[in-house]
């Protein structure tokens, strides 16, 4: 019986490794094709299509980025500022709210938690959200228009962090500190946060990727090109190139050679994803642990 179970376990392990290896390849292949295409010669790519190992290489796309760095670099800086500020603010708000909801005797805690769960299922829609942020909060063409809207969409992360606090941090530690005279904020700062590195790193990575890849907020609230993020800039370049290429005759003729080519746009996309690829390995060890422990029902 044990031999049969051992053989079945080995078969399951082999199948799991095969499936995971296949999924890893499918995840890596698009990135490899993106990078390879960005180093392809434009004329070669048009004639032969994008290839994993292009025969004709060119740095024209990256030379274009250097020539346009005044605009691209500014968009890069905006994206970095938004990502850092948004992620930090989100972690503070989520962790403090989750810590309050993790308290068993919090007055109205169940009602507040239920309201948070409702926001995960329903929302007011884009039009009311746009009117509130634009007409009442005046976020139009401000850096806050790229930060604040995402801060109010963290119901899922609040639940994860709350469950982590309840299941992974013994309540006896907080009680012991209270007996010694520690206040709520002192406990939160010196006990809860240090013991919550796995879940906070996980949530921080999720929020950072969300902010870095976000272009919806820029589309809704930003029309000033000086506040374009990388994703919005790339989207604007794609839209403008397609419009000019399709309507060149109506506009008196547009030189196609003067437009950013597809390889140039792919190079911008490569530059845009590099920070995420560079940072992710440092948070990977926390990611699985934080998600698993945060998902435990509290």
Using one digit for the tens of pLDDT, what is the confidence trace for 87-131?
Answer: 999 999 999 988 888 888 888 888 888 888 887 787 777 888 888
Q: What is the share, in percent, of the chain residues with pLDDT greater than 70?
A: 85
| Whether residues 51 and 87 fall in one domain | no
At residue 82, the pLDDT reads 93
Q: Do the domain assignments include residue 65?
A: no
Q: Do the domain assignments include residue 206?
A: yes
| Whether residues 287 and 172 fall in one domain | yes
| Whether residues 135 and 275 fall in one domain | yes
User: Is the pLDDT confidence value at 290 over 70?
Assistant: no
Band (291; pLDDT cuts 50, 70, 90): low
Chain centroid to CA 79: 11
| Whether residues 273 and 175 fall in one domain | yes
| Whether residues 262 and 136 fall in one domain | yes
| Whether residues 270 and 135 fall in one domain | yes
Q: Do the domain assignments include residue 64?
A: no
| Whether residues 259 and 166 fall in one domain | yes
Q: What is the mean pLDDT of the chain?
A: 80
H-helix segments, the chain: 2-38, 42-48, 60-67, 69-101, 109-121, 126-131, 148-151, 155-168, 171-179, 184-187, 197-213, 216-221, 230-246, 262-294
CATH number at residue 167: 1.10.3720.10
- Tokens 């589309």, located at residue: 219
Given 38, 58, 78, which residue is the final one in a domain? Answer: 58
Task: Read off the pLDDT of each residue in 56-73 and give the average, rounded to a whole number.
Answer: 82
When divided into structural domains, the chain yields a total of 2
Q: What is the share, in percent, of the chain residues with pLDDT greater than 90?
A: 7
| Whether residues 2 and 84 fall in one domain | no
213: containing domain? 70-294
At residue 88, the pLDDT reads 92
| Whether residues 127 and 181 fall in one domain | yes
Rounded to whole angstroms, the Cα distance separating 263 from 193 reads: 45
| Whether residues 149 and 201 fall in one domain | yes
Greatest Cα pair distance, the chain, in angstroms, is: 81
Q: Do the domain assignments include residue 63?
A: no
Q: Do the domain assignments include residue 259?
A: yes
| Whether residues 205 and 282 fall in one domain | yes
* pLDDT tens readout for residues 176-209: 888 888 888 888 888 888 888 888 888 888 888 8
Closest CA to 204 of 95, 117, 79, 121: 95
Given 33, 58, 83, which residue is the final one in a domain? Answer: 58
pTM: 0.77
């Amino acid at each position: 019986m044990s031999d049969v179970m051992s053989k079945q376990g080995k078969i399951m392990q082999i199948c799991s490794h095969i499936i995971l290896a296949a999924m890893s390849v499918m995840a890596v292949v698009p990135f490899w094709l993106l990078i390879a295409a960005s180093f392809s010669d434009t004329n070669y790519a048009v004639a032969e299509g994008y290839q994993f190992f292009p025969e004709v290489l060119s740095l024209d796309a990256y030379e274009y980025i250097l020539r346009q760095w005044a605009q691209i670099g500014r968009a890069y800086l905006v994206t970095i500022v938004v990502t850092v500020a948004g992620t930090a603010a989100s972690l503070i708000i989520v962790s403090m709210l989750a810590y309050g909801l993790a308290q068993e005797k919090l007055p109205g805690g169940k009602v507040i938690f239920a309201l948070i769960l409702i926001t995960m299922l329903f929302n007011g829609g884009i039009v009311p959200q746009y009117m509130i942020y634009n007409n009442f909060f005046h976020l139009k063409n401000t850096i806050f228009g790229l930060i604040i809207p995402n801060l109010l969409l963290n119901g899922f992360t609040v639940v994860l962090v709350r469950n982590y606090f309840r299941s992974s941090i013994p309540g006896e530690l907080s009680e012991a500190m209270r007996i010694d005279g520690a206040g709520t904020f002192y406990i939160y700062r010196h006990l809860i946060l240090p013991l919550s590195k796995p879940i906070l790193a996980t949530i921080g990575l999720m929020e950072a990727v969300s902010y870095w890849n976000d272009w919806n907020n820029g589309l809704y609230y930003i029309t000033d090109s000086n506040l374009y993020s990388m994703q919005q800039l790339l989207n604007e370049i794609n839209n403008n190139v397609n419009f000019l290429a399709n309507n060149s005759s109506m506009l008196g003729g547009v030189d196609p050679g003067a437009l950013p080519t597809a390889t140039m746009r792919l190079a911008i996309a490569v530059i845009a994803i590099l920070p995420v690829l560079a940072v992710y390995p440092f948070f990977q060890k926390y990611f699985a642990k934080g998600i698993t422990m945060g998902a435990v029902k509290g």
